[in-house]
Structure 1
Amino acid sequence: MSTSKQKIYWFCQLFGWSLLILVEYLAYVLESGFDPDALYLAIANIFLGITLTHLYRLMIRRWNWVRLPFFRLVPRVLLSVLVLAMIMTLVNIPIDRRLFPQYFIEEPWPTIGYLLTWGKNMLTWVLSYTAYHYVEENRNAEIERILLKTSIRETEAKVLRSQLNPHFVFNALNSIRALVYENPTKAQQGITQLSNLLRNSLLADRRKTVELREEIKTVEDYLALEKVRYEDRLTSRIELDNRTLFWQVPPMMLQTLVENAIKHGVSTAVGGGFVEVQSTIVADKLHITIRNTGVLGDKEASGGFGLANTAQRLELLYGPEATFQIFQEDDNIVCAEISIPTQSEGIFRREKVKNGEL
């Protein structure tokens, strides 16, 4: 328990019990006049009440009662109230018989009255204290569950962000090797492009999102390397709305989809094909469309890891407002569409405005 909570607890203990007992004592003084013995008894009851309820607090904290299911907690609370009320009754009745014998003449069953009175007082204290900590414990448990779930989701997102197909790397290296003697300048350019891709793949697990323009540079490097391999069999086109350049998107996501488009579309088409990437803003959402030559067929077989990766990453980062779908647009054209909500762009744009870049 923190220092501030301890102070509040002891203040409530002293103030609550003092108020309860002294109000009863003042009622007695107004009826019967001042009696020092009654005052001493009232003070003793204050300290006894504080002691007993504090022992109850130590007990439920030691045995973690507030973590018990409700149906198991209730009997323990009621039993505790009964025990506390009986202790207060057993302590007070003998003293009261000696100090105030006149009050017992007309009361045939004083023990029941004492039990009801002290039971009511103890029930009020025990219920207040237990209910507060029961609610607090459940709230803390819920926070822990949320933090654990967030941690798991973040770990999943890191794994999903840093995927680069090793087969592509091998193919790219083979293509570059073929250019070393034939076209050294183009080979150097290919090495630079492959280096950029590898660097972005390594950095992907450190960043949740990147600017769309940065992601497009990665796509351009990837397409350039693939054109070395496919030559005239691959054509590409990228058309971006200038308003979308600074939107935040998951790193390596578009590269994965373009790679999927080439692997399962262009590479299998007779005579090659095309890949087209477009971006625009519709209804305050970023829309990215990737179209390519190909036949969709079975999504699991034709999409591989890329499709499941994209859908899961969008859900992890943006929630249900972000969407991803892939469908057969025409007989020989597959279309993948991504929609990202506006809040993903808002923080970055505010920083740009603050720095005078927009």
Structure 2
Amino acid sequence: MTFFQKPFNKQLLKRLVPYFFLTTTIVILVFNDAFGETDELIVFSLLFFTSMAIWMIRWLVIQIKFILRLKNEKKQAELTHLKSQVNPHFFFNTLNNLYGLVGQDTEKAQELILKLSDMMRYSIYEGQNDWVTLADEIAYLDNYMDLHRMRYHKEISIRFDVDAEDRSIQIMPLLFIIMVENAFKHGVEKLRADAFVHIRLKATKQLVDFEIENNFDAEEMDGSEGIGLKNLKKRLELVYQNRHELEISTEPAGLYKIRLRLRL
């Protein structure tokens, strides 16, 4: 194989380009001192430095694109990791409850199994998407609360009021469930009686306003923030940076409020 038949090495050429420009610049400076400012040298120098400027601009654009791609890949990897941390214990606890219900009320058990199946499908498949419709998120929350109503052998007040102008708007998946899980885990499950979880969702094409209010046992609260809420804040910063407001308040009387507003 002759020299001209060898495959073209693009990587080698890229490494040689800076040396070419440096060497040629030195040669131009030497010739300029030796021969003075001749027309030929001026034209050549002008073309050369123009080419070098174009190459440097191209190199800068490539580097910027590379950095942006790395940042985007890091962002996607972090989002995937945070999504995977949605509490799995609820599914296992619900399966245990369904096992006991099968022998008591077969028809109700079948209905709840379908709801659980829909939730698991949504969490595993749709939850990995970048965006889902608001309608899908609402259905997911409805199923979650129906299953919770089945779990408890005590009177609880669960209310979910929805006022959505357009349920086809796109939002990040598995966003609201973190706040809903928090309300049940630290409120309903800890209280012996009179537990409530009231949820309000209002949405337009420009704004989503999600609010939860629940009571809790003040003696059970340690004041620390759970992993779920920390993950929620990280996800909001990654996807809705400067387009969200998250307000959390706790009242001494045992009332917990969390409100999230998203600008679409």
Question: TM-score of the superposition, structure 1-length normalised?
Answer: 0.62
Deviation at 1:61, TM superposition (A): 4.1
Q: Aligned to 2:162, which of 214, 224, 240?
A: 240
Q: Which runs of 5+ in 2 are unaligned?
A: 1-11
Number of matched residues?
249
Correspondences of 1:131-146 after superposition (within 5 Å):
131-146=53-68
What SS is found at the alignment partner of 1:257? helix
Q: Which residue in the other structure is 2:188 paired with?
A: 266
Higher strand share: 2
Q: Which runs of 5+ in 1 are unaligned?
A: 1-58, 67-72, 87-110, 343-358
What SS is found at the alignment partner of 1:241? strand
Q: Which residue in the other structure is 1:174 paired with?
A: 96
1:298 and 2:223 correspond: yes
Comparing 173-182 with 209-218, greater Cα deviation is found at 209-218
Q: Which residue in the other structure is 2:16 paired with?
A: 63
1:156 and 2:81 correspond: no
Q: Is the 8 A contact 1:258 1:290 kept in 2?
A: yes
Q: Is the 8 A contact 1:322 1:338 kept in 2?
A: yes
Correspondences of 1:189-338 after superposition (within 5 Å):
189-271=111-193, 273-281=195-203, 284-294=206-216, 298-300=223-225, 304-328=226-250, 331-338=253-260
Q: Which residue in the other structure is 1:53 paired with?
A: none
Comparing 74-83 with 187-196, greater Cα deviation is found at 74-83
Deviation at 1:330, TM superposition (A): 6.2
Structure 2: distance between partners of 1:138 and 1:234: 61
Deviation at 1:219, TM superposition (A): 1.1
Structure 2: distance between partners of 1:199 and 1:240: 23
Deviation at 1:115, TM superposition (A): 3.5
Distance 1:315 1:250, change over 3 A: same
Q: Which has the higher contact order (CA 8 A, sep 6+)?
A: 2
Deviation at 1:309, TM superposition (A): 2.1
Q: Which residue in the other structure is 2:37 paired with?
A: 116
Q: Is the 8 A contact 2:132 2:171 kept in 1?
A: yes
Q: Is the 8 A contact 2:86 2:228 kept in 1?
A: no
Query: Which has more radius of gyration?
Result: 1
Aligned residue identity for 1:186: K
Write the deviation string for residues 225-278 of structure 1: whole angstroms up to 9, x where unpaired: 222222334321011113153332222222222111111222123425111221
| Alignment RMSD | 2.9
Question: TM-score of the superposition, structure 2-length normalised?
Answer: 0.82
Structure 2: distance between partners of 1:283 and 1:330: 36
Higher helix share: 1
Q: Is the 8 A contact 1:314 1:323 kept in 2?
A: no
Aligned residue identity for 2:16: W
Q: Is the 8 A contact 1:162 1:252 kept in 2?
A: no
1:185 and 2:107 correspond: yes
Deviation at 1:189, TM superposition (A): 1.7
Determine what percentage of the aligned residue pairs are the same residue: 26
